[in-house]
């Protein structure tokens, strides 16, 4: 296959074979528009996509393959793919510069509120140590903010915001060098079922009663109608939690610890059992006391 550096050496135990690396190089690097290979940032985004595919598919289907960090995987790809091989000697600098670049890419997402303006949705990432946040993600090249937000919310929660998202309703902050724009989407119904559409990205989804920060409280006071239907599904101070639904990935056997500043709540054994057996949940899922999460939310909205 043209454009791929082949090697007859046997890979280390647990590492991808040259055949697999050839396939990943062909899928994600060689057959892309030429402009995507004109900068190291674009090259590394392609390698990152190949890494996701490797982790979500190859590792999952072959128990003999080990999970690799993006740094390890990048080094392998640069040594294996002819389009990347000329830069192998500088791969560490390229990788470090890429990580610095990523924290400057604008982020868009959404604060999803129920019809009563009382509850919002939070998601927790897949990796160990992930924190709770509103569903959001980095903008793709030439992508509009609202398009990015709708795409990320759909990927992370399965919720289609296309009929509810208004391009002028958002809160925007700058964190370091990164601009974060969160659109405020009102109207999630009590029977809405949320479930991620992508593998190994979201581990848990949570509905929490609002203890809003100043920017969000100000927005709600200006936009909330005088007459809104009050939610009767649970008393204030409680939340609904459900494990992210992903039929092709076995969910964690235990609920990962919440990494907010407050101590995570402890689920009763009966509720934990119910949570394990029913991965997709709506606003009307079971209740639990999460006063600690509410206290953490009072300090400000999570990014």
Assess whether pLDDT exceeds 60 at residue 7: no
Average of per-residue pLDDT across 225-251? 50
Q: What gap in Å lies between CA 65 and CA 77, rounded to an integer?
A: 16
The two three-digit tokens of residue 286, written as one number: 């079971």
Across the chain, mean pLDDT equals 75
The C-alpha torsion from 189 through 279 and 210 to 228, rounded to 10°, is: 10
Cβ neighbours around 186 below 10 Å, total: 21
What average pLDDT does range 172-198 have in this prediction? 89
The SS3 call for residue 177 is coil
pLDDT at residue 43 greater than cutoff 90: yes
Whether 289 shows a pLDDT value over 70: the answer reads: no
Question: What domains lie within the chain, and their CATH numbers?
Answer: 18-102 (1.10.10.1050), 105-224 (3.90.79.10)
Q: How confident is the model at residue 64 (pLDDT cuts 50, 70, 90)?
A: very high
Confidence of residue 10 (pLDDT cuts 50, 70, 90): low
Query: Which of 143-157, 223-237, 243-257 is the most confident on average?
Result: 143-157
């Amino acid at each position: 296959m043209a454009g791929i550096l082949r090697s007859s050496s046997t890979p280390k135990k647990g590492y991808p074979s040259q055949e697999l690396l050839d396939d990943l190089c062909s899928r994600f690097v060689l057959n892309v528009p030429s402009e995507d290979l004109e900068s190291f940032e674009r090259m590394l985004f392609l390698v990152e996509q190949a890494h996701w595919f490797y982790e979500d598919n190859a590792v999952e289907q072959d128990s003999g393959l080990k999970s690799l960090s993006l740094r390890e995987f990048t080094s392998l790809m640069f040594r294996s793919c002819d389009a990347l091989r000329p830069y192998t000697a500088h791969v560490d600098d390229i990788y470090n510069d890429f990580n610095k670049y990523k924290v400057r890419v604008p982020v868009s997402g959404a604060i999803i509120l129920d019809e009563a303006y009382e509850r919002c949705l939070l998601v927790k990432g897949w990796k160990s140590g992930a924190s709770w946040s509103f569903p959001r993600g980095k903008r793709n090249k030439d992508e509009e903010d609202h398009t990015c937000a709708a795409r990320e919310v759909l990927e992370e929660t399965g919720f289609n915001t296309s009929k509810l998202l208004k391009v002028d309703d958002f809160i925007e902050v700058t964190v370091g060098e990164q601009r974060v724009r969160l659109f405020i989407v009102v109207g999630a119904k009590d029977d809405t079922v949320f479930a991620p559409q992508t593998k190994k990205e979201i581990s848990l989804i949570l509905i929490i009663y609002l203890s809003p920060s100043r920017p969000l409280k100000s927005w709600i006071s200006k936009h909330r109608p005088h007459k809104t239907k009050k939610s009767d599904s649970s008393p204030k101070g409680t939340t609904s939690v459900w494990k992210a639904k992903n039929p092709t990935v076995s969910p964690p056997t235990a609920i990962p610890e919440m990494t907010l500043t407050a101590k995570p709540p402890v689920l009763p054994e009966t509720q934990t059992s119910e949570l394990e057996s029913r991965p997709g949940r709506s606003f009307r899922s079971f209740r639990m006391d999460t006063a600690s999460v509410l206290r953490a939310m009072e300090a400000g909205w999570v990014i």
